[in-house]
Structure 1
């Protein structure tokens, strides 16, 4: 059934273009001509979801199939949701306005733990049973992938199956199996059993956990012997051959990243011990600059965008960066297309490159020292020095820049008040670096913005065993830093540490907390990542009513031999390596980046000896 949205309803909500579709390059098909209907759901607003590269890739990839129609679904903002519930309008897909409860698949991308209540809310708004156990043969399969899927257990009762790793191959294999299954009259379980044979597929209902008296995990067991004990992530071997869209949807409204996005490589050569992405996306695999040029030209022609962004975990580590950006800027000069660069590493900051990329506006640059002292930067294996920062900002100030954003974390393992005060000291040194620049060279109106986030221990990092710092301790550190910053040219922003506490609960939770997630939603929690809607007290009430201790997951230090909720997932990085990195952190020892020396993490031999070229491990 197709939904009809009246003009009156759309005029009564904020940003009606979020809900209308029909954008340039969106895919229109006749649903009657396909065997598979796939609702690609992003559990946040249109502006955030449409900025996500993974959605752009998989949306067009699935629509390349003649037998499949992939449509987009976003979480309606609270005003639109109220109108939908008031008028009995179920959650629908943008392209056809059809109810998604009649689709074959409802697929969620899991980018942030604090969007989990939106998943529950979207399923309810769609009229789809919230749990796997309650779904019948005529209900869609609910699946998920993305970085948060690497600890799938907090959603184990809700998601029918997870796709672990990079989705370009695995999602097509799942669709192929579905076409074989559809119409056979076999049960949902039969389909799930078939796809469970595929590398990278995890079906939580096929496994059970047993627990010790102290609440730790005693065992993880498949309920049938044919189900795999370890689920191995999928990786793409050749980045030049992997699918990448030559068209991208151009929205009618502003989105967070409203430009062409070019993915230059996957993985990261660095080994920052707090960074989940740096480990789960190993090994590094680059695209050639020839392939990137080909894509840049086609995307510029098909979208009309006037800006190209280079995306990766650390773009300045792209081995062909100077060669590629020079060629790209030369090619795009006549088309008046500019280059957007993300934050660059301090130890590889290039003023020439920034001059090329930002010829018009020299307002601000972004750097992430992460910690205020060299000791703590060595603990987290950041691999940069205070000298790197001051050299980079001095170059920038001499080049006319007058704004610098500096990102740090509070609550890192072994952190002391001296480390916190070091953040303020570093910011003041940046101000002094600006004052030393000759008047005729520097831009007017210096503003140094210091932002701190609370450290959240994540799965598959060397810090996955660490206790998160308490809410009270982090609050004290925030106030200490605020007191230490005495310059009017420095602005200090900090994140809500209660939100970070909840993030840690779900980042390291097991399937016992799923009931608390559903209970929190029942009590009114959604859009938790948005400050105005975050309800900490309601969350704590939900945990209490469900008999779940959130501190057990967030602020408890684990032993190395404890079974972790994600130990059945194989990302290619060995636990032995992570333990060794954890120990090196306490010894304040640096591990060189993979391009300098392969650290033997296991990713280089995870799949047919891939190491990304150039000795990258």
Structure 2
């Protein structure tokens, strides 16, 4: 992009003259409650925190909220927010040579010292390239020099950083609350000695949990699989282990209150991090171990502070499995008292399928509470539940939904997944049969007011999970299963939505790709791909053309069974869970072997020995894992 405007004052003038020409101008002006504006010229280190999607998607993001508050509490640093403009605004900016800018002071993105990008999912990748282009920053890390910002990315998608490796200077693997300060301190020290950009990258190598792809070169076998990952310096660790905070810091209590409607207008409080259920398809459950909890008093204090600072009337208590929070009953009792006194809506997502979950939600139920209740069975036959390690009997699901309807909810949402390993069409038909039974129970209890919505996603075998060796279903297989569902549910009154098979393929290419995938991403972007997570923007043909230009076969990344000894593109990145454990869990899935919650019994996944020093530093209830049995300590 040809940038012609570089001064914040000029950008502000241009905004005044052009905002009425775009939809939702509130996306682009800043000025919201709780934004932090610091003096630009007197603050040593300037950080732009980027969510590479629209404002209304990015503002509620908890990771950026945490980092924004943490950085701005430092006297020597400032953090501003950057979101992607919608296409109407982008067209105007490109025509006028207006660079993408920080909302707080309108400084161009290229004038920041550090650009921190959060990547919670892979379909944001082309947006990142568009961001660089709108900022006038070279797309390739190798083409940037000392005067360019250092680009650092983090988030769940970066547990396989290779598809974006040529574009990013450094990746933070894992949790960012502590490592962000180490990065800022390292940057300040580097600048004080007027080092080269190469010197800065070497310095970042020394920070645990930071991956600098510049110092790693993949080599390939003739069949396209990974032969090895070569380190170009001995300073680069052979394995980059994720960062973990031993004790969860206080949650942010001054979130931005947006100027327009966003996807979640609420206070978000993380009550627990990590999950021990061991669902074999679940990437988040594997990469966020171990479980750490906040105390009830800490949660209540954060809620009170955030309410005072925002004026919100809804609070979401977040975790991967809220029912597993060890003090959940006590927490709900205390929070429900607060909710009654202050007329709040409290949501508690990610509940297990059991009647106690209904009782918990019933205690939180207020006059303005939603009339829908969401559960995620994921599979509908005992065999498939054993494969994915989610043992929920159909009778248990029916009893839970009966309790939901009896407690006054009229709409139930069930989330299932098709494409599981070894799945048959009979397993798919069972989804329809179980759904019909649920709706029948609802109508028996509350009559025609009962409704059922099905969300049916398609399984993608993700890195660092027991299913990472498996292929994805082909589009033809996915469509056949979707047809079975549609035919089986015809005339049932059950609403159903599912994922387009082409969107599933995109997620699979990007999440399972190696470094060669970067060329595909570049070509897709150059052909106009962006906002791929949005159905009205995603263009499958552009990606097909991009694969052709890169001379790569997309099926190599999606429909190929991996051998048990294959080296994966992400093997040098570790979430602390051992590959040997994942392999054993994969073999268990083939045999239908169920594993209980690992809070009840340790299966030596690798987390405890990897982070034994951290656990020793933070003993007690903050780490919700059993002691390692003698047979597993080796």
Calculate the TM-score normalised by the size of structure 1. Answer: 0.97
Match among 319, 335, 349 for residue 342 of structure 2: 335
Deviating more after overlay: 577-586 vs 337-346: 337-346
Post-superposition offset of 1:102: 1.0
Post-superposition offset of 1:348: 5.7
Following the alignment from structure 2 to structure 1, what is the Cα–Cα distance between the partners of residues 334 and 41? 45
Query: Which residue pairs with 1:367 in the alignment?
Result: 375
Conserved 8 A contact 1:47-1:256: yes
Match status 1:46 vs 2:55: yes
Conserved 8 A contact 1:397-1:443: no
Following the alignment from structure 1 to structure 2, what is the Cα–Cα distance between the partners of residues 376 and 195? 44
Following the alignment from structure 1 to structure 2, what is the Cα–Cα distance between the partners of residues 42 and 229? 30
Matches within 5 A, 1:407-486: 407-437=415-445, 442=446, 445-486=449-490
Matches within 5 A, 1:139-538: 139-239=148-248, 242-347=249-354, 349-360=356-367, 361=369, 363-437=371-445, 442=446, 445-538=449-542
Q: Deviations over 1:277-317 (max 9, x none)?
A: 00000010111111111111111111111111100111111
Query: Which residue pairs with 1:100 in the alignment?
Result: 109
Conserved 8 A contact 2:513-2:557: yes
- Partner SS, residue 157 of structure 1: helix
Q: 1:265 to 1:483 in 2, by over 3 A?
A: same
Following the alignment from structure 1 to structure 2, what is the Cα–Cα distance between the partners of residues 395 and 278? 28
Conserved 8 A contact 2:46-2:79: yes
Following the alignment from structure 1 to structure 2, what is the Cα–Cα distance between the partners of residues 350 and 92? 45
Conserved 8 A contact 1:269-1:616: no
Conserved 8 A contact 2:52-2:84: yes
**Unmatched tracts of structure 1, length 5 or more:** none
**Unmatched tracts of structure 2, length 5 or more:** 1-6, 616-621, 629-634
Following the alignment from structure 2 to structure 1, what is the Cα–Cα distance between the partners of residues 592 and 466? 13
Query: Which residue pairs with 2:585 in the alignment?
Result: 581
Query: Which residue pairs with 1:62 in the alignment?
Result: 71
Following the alignment from structure 1 to structure 2, what is the Cα–Cα distance between the partners of residues 72 and 408? 36
Match status 1:79 vs 2:88: yes
Conserved 8 A contact 2:339-2:346: no
Query: Which residue pairs with 1:549 in the alignment?
Result: 553
Post-superposition offset of 1:362: 5.0
Q: 1:349 to 1:534 in 2, by over 3 A?
A: farther
RMSD: 1.4
- Partner SS, residue 253 of structure 1: coil
Following the alignment from structure 1 to structure 2, what is the Cα–Cα distance between the partners of residues 137 and 8? 35
Post-superposition offset of 1:356: 2.3
Following the alignment from structure 1 to structure 2, what is the Cα–Cα distance between the partners of residues 347 and 616? 27
Following the alignment from structure 2 to structure 1, what is the Cα–Cα distance between the partners of residues 350 and 209? 32
Following the alignment from structure 2 to structure 1, what is the Cα–Cα distance between the partners of residues 97 and 206? 40
What count of residue pairs does the alignment treat as equivalent?
A: 611
Q: Deviations over 1:37-81 (max 9, x none)?
A: 111010111111112111100111011111111000001111111
Following the alignment from structure 1 to structure 2, what is the Cα–Cα distance between the partners of residues 581 and 316? 24
